[in-house]
Amino acid sequence: MMLNKEKAYIAGFLDGDGCILFQLIRKSDYRLGFQVKASVIFYQNKKYRWFLLWLKEKLKYGYIRDRNDDICEYNIVGFKAVEEVLGALYPYLRIKHDQAKLALGIIKKYPHNGRDYSPEMLMKIAKDIDGFSFLNYSKKRTITSRTVKKHLVKSKLLSP
């Protein structure tokens, strides 16, 4: 059980050195061709890897990955894990408050098993995920609701 002051501290760290992501990932083995991925990621210089280990101990989910640029990432992936972590940190977030609100809304609105989505539901999720483009700084995002719609129409899974 985390103390409120620990939740507030971790929320401040997420506000400054973390991100909340929802991604649409191409997956040829998925019936509709896309996976919906929810993540919370914390970043830190490798010399402070111990701090990410402390975070993992507190938050109970995820894994730590060492990158080749002297940065470590603590990744929390999956609807259930992201919902639990953001639910605990949400009251204390300032900068990423809107991202967390959008993420929690998406998680509550849609089933967690993406393999069961209908084409119409995937389109709704994709449009909701597009909302992150206004809240995050990502310049690399290439798969949007337009991409998903184009694929679904081309695959004859959705009417134009």
- As to burial, measured by CB atoms within 10 angstroms (0-12 exposed, 13-18 middle, 19+ buried), residue 77 is middle
Q: Give the tens place of pLDDT for each residue, 140-158.
A: 778 999 999 999 999 999 9
* pLDDT reading at 81 higher than 80: yes
CA atoms of 148 and 145, how far apart (whole Å): 5
Taking the CA of residue 65 as centre, how many other CA atoms within 13 Å lie in the half-sphere pointing to its CB? 10
**Span 26-48, average pLDDT:** 94
Catalytic (active site) residue 16? yes
Report the percent of the chain where pLDDT is more than 90: 81
pLDDT, residue 110, reads 85
Burial of 106 (0-12, 13-18, 19+ CB in 10 A): buried
Distances (CA, A) of 126 to 46, 49, 53, 73: 34, 34, 33, 26
The confidence score (pLDDT) of residue 144 equals: 92
State the catalytic residue, choosing from 15, 17, 98, 130: 17
128 among known catalytic residues: no
Per-residue tokens: 35: 């996976």
